[in-house]
Every structure is written in C-alpha cells, then in structure tokens.
A and B are shown apart, each in its own frame.
Chain A
Amino acid sequence: MIRLQNVNKNYGGRPALVNINLHIALGEFAFLVGPSGAGKSTLMRLLYREETPTNGNVFIGGVNLNRLHAGQIPLLRRRLGIIFQDFKLLPSQTVFNNVAYVLRALGVDEKEVAKRVNSALAVVNLEHKFDAYPTELSGGEQQRVGIARAIVNGPPVLLADEPTGNLDPATSLEIVQLLERISQRGTTVLISTHDQPIVNAMRRRVIALKNGELVADVDNGIYELEMS
C-alpha cells in the first residue's frame, strides 16, 4: 500500500532522509519511530505529498506521488486519513460539524453525511458528544474526534503524526489501541511517534529512523532495541 524506493530528501544540501526503501502492506499496522530530527515528519509529509523527495519514488496504492500534478493532490489526500498531534479541530464547530466539515466540502449529501459521521463517531465512542464543542472535550476526546474525521471518508491509509504527543500515557494507549482496531478492519495505519512505552506495549512492526537513515525495520519490535 505504501512503498518508498531509494528516497532521499535534502533541505538546502542537509540530508533529512537518506536512501529510504520501505514497504507497508494493505491493512498493516506500523510505528515509525526515532528521536527528534530523525526524519519522521519529513517522511510523513512525503506520504501526503506536502513535500516531494529530492530523488527516489513514493507510491501510495501503486500511484507514484512524484508524477501527480497539483490538481491531483486533493484526490490522493481523499484516500488518506491524517491525524495530527495538535488535533487541528475547528473550535467554533461542534464535534459533528468538525467530522462532517470535509464531507460537506466534497459535496456529499446531508443524509449520507449524517450516516457517515454517526458511524465514525461510533467507532471512536463519541456518539453522545456529537453536539459538544472541542473546548468542552478532554485531550483524548479531541484526538478521537480527529480520528473520526480522518476515517469518515473511509480511506485505505491512515497516517498519524505524533497522535499521542499531547496526551497522558493512559489516554495515549487508548488512542493507539483504537487505531489498531481500525487497522484490523483493513486500513493501513502508520503512526509516527517517539512514545517509547506505547511502542513497547503494542509490540507491532517498528520502523526506526536515525539521522534520516532507516536503521531498523522489525516486526513485533520495541523502541529501545531498534534504536540502539
């Protein structure tokens, strides 16, 4: 589902990613780990085409992202669900409207919007908070709204960029377990994190970056081992 071929990314001559080769299959669940500055965010930005590689190829579902022109980028992003560390919710909109926002912008009819939003809110256990505003929710609940928004369009790939960065350990584990449940329904999930306890608790595939290089890629891995 996700494939990187000899990917390099430089910023003004400084390498951020060095010769990355990677393949993540459909429905797979993986952690992308590494210390700050390792290149995790750069790799995530390449996947949702916020950036392009200096050289090498990035594929999502067989589509070479290098070959997309500006008008095709929105079509790619509709096939991705993106989850952010800072949730990126609209404070003036209710939970329901935050999740529905993008569907409405895509011209989905109101009946279908209601159906999909309620279903997404059910997955994250927030149906009862549909009319609450983000400021009335805890951090974990806000992140669950972010997840509902990411999955509402039924994307085959979920990219989560430090989704537990602003959460306490217990809530972090809850969120990652929720993402794992979503993955079990056939969605490819890639979580970028430096949350060692979470990675170690989950014992799933761990892809480790250090100074822009892929230093480990281990199934059922743990953070410490792969980074040493």
Chain B
Amino acid sequence: MMRTLRIIRRVFIETFLGLKASGWSNWLVVSILAVALTIFGGVLQMTMSLKNLVNAWGSQIEMSAYLKDSYDPKKVANEISQLPEVRQVEIVPKDVAWRDMQHTFKIAVINNPLPNTLHVKLADPEQVELLATKLKLLPSVETVRSPLKIAKKITEVRHFLEIAGFFITAVLTTATLTVIGNTINLVIKARHREIEILSLMGVGHFYIKCPFVFQGAAYGAIAALLATLVLLGIHLYVDPYVKDQILSLVPFMPQNLEFSLLQTAGLMCALGVAVGAGGSLWTSGRFIKL
C-alpha cells in the first residue's frame, strides 16, 4: 500500500517535471485548448439556448379536437390525457365557445352550432402527426386540426442544431487532439533518455506512461478553467445586453432559456480532461516503445 502511494507520488512528481520541461509550449497548448473549449462552450450554450427556445415554442403548439355532440367532453378529455404523447388537455365547452364568439362577433341569437372542443398540448412537437392520427381514430372525435407545418419546421431546426453542435464538437475535438498529441510527442522526445533508462531498468509501463497522460489531463483542466472564466465574463457582461436587445425585438421570446453555465463548465472540463488525457494516452502508446 505504502509502496503504491510512493509510486503514485513519484508519478505526480514526474508529471510536474514533464510540465516544467515543456516550458513555453505548455502555454501554447493550454491557449489553443482554451480557445477550442471556449468555442465549444459558446456553441454549446448557444445551441442549448436555441434548442430550449425551439422546445419552448414547440411546447406551445396545441391541437384542437372537435367532439361529436353525443360524447361527454370530460370523459373524452380524460381518455386523451392518458395518451403518452399528450402533456395537457383543456376542455372548451360548446356553450363557453359560443358565448365568447357571440361576444366577439355580435352574432344573432341562433342555436349554438359549435361542438365541444379539446385543446391538446403535446409532450413533444415531433409527435404531432402521430397524435393527430390517434385522435382521428377515436369515435368521439369529429375532426382534428393540427399545426403540422409548424411542428415539422421546429423539428427540422432542432435536428439541425443537434447536427451542427455535434459537427463543431467533432472538429474542435480532432483539432485539440492533434495539438495535444504533437506536444506530448515533443515531451516524449525530450525525455526519451529517461524513458529508455526506466524501461531497461524494469520500471512498469504504468509509471512510464502515466505522467504523460496526467500532463495531457492537466492541460485540459487548466484550459477548461480559462474557458469557463471567459464564458463567465461573457455571461456577466455581454449576455444581459444581448438579451435586452433580443427581447425588445422579439417580445414573445420565452424566458429562462439559458443553459446553465455550471453545466457548460462541467462539460468543458470533462471534455478538456478527456481530450487531454485521451490524446496523451494515444500519443504515448504510439511513440513510447517499451
């Protein structure tokens, strides 16, 4: 146990020595990684905010189901609310609808021609077509009116945001992996003598490779911290101004759209450490021949 702890301590010392030996190139790698992670974090926040916006709009989509007169609207509403695609059902009784209409349009006193109506809100706007089909099949439902076109547009935008976010993440990850790989390769070349001695003297592969992996992980963690500070600055000083501008242009914009900075920081840190450690592991596996 004590021996293992001493080895782990030495691994950290070797990591520190590796960082020290890398000199100015540490800052080059951390800067590039920090820029990549800031872009990643910014894109993530933007796409998540847009996605939240789209979802908020999507959640406001509702379908109208017009009922046959012979059915009790409460029973039908209860039946429909059991469907998994349904988030909320609101009953508009024919009397209420007729009174409102008369009030709005000053219609002459005739028999109420309106049906009982159910306003159905969806759990997911992508399911509008499926739910419309299900509702049409109910014997109690006369007709269904659904905003198919809007729902499709919202779904398309959502998919586009997902793909764009994935693509940008993939490009940034590849770029940072390359930068980290090259740096660690330089460190390995600079320390080849120590590696050779350790290997020939019977030091385990874990001890030899681990400092490089930790070094990469340290790059990722420091870069994530810097990127978080940049995003925090944007969040505190730029966001409120931009939000005011957007709200003045689009007053019906739903509120509380921000994707939490803490979540973003967590994701950036996880990605930074994973890319740093992964890139180093890959490079040390490729260039350290034991």
Contact = CB atoms under 8 A, between A and B. Distances in A.
A225 B241 CA distance: 93
Interface in A69-122: 70-71, 73-80, 82, 88, 90, 101-102, 104-109
A73 B201 contact: no
B197 A101 contact: yes
Nearest to A106: B203
Interface residues of A, number: 25
B197 A74 contact: no
Which residue among B4, B6, B198, B200 has the maximum number of chain A CB atoms within 10 Å of its CB? B200
Given A107-B6, A107-B7, A107-B10, A88 B202 contact: no
Which residue among B4, B194, B197, B207 has the maximum number of chain A CB atoms within 10 Å of its CB? B197
B81 to A, nearest CB: 61
Nearest to B204: A74
A48 interface: yes
A102 B205 contact: no
B200 A73 contact: no
Given A105-B207, A107-B4, A107-B7, A82 B200 contact: yes
Contacts, number: 65
B197 A90 contact: yes
Contacts of B75: none
15 contacts: A70-B205, A73-B290, A82-B200, A88-B197, A88-B200, A90-B193, A101-B198, A102-B197, A104-B10, A105-B198, A105-B207, A106-B7, A107-B4, A109-B6, A149-B201
A102 B4 contact: no
Contacts of A50: 200
Interface string B19-50: 00000000000000000000000000000000
Interface of A: 48, 50, 70-71, 73-80, 82, 88, 90, 101-102, 104-109, 149, 153
A75 B290 CA distance: 13
Given A90-B193, A90-B194, A90-B197, A102 B203 contact: yes
Nearest to B8: A107
B3 interface: yes
Contact of B202 (A74, A101, A104): A74
B3 to A, nearest CB: 4
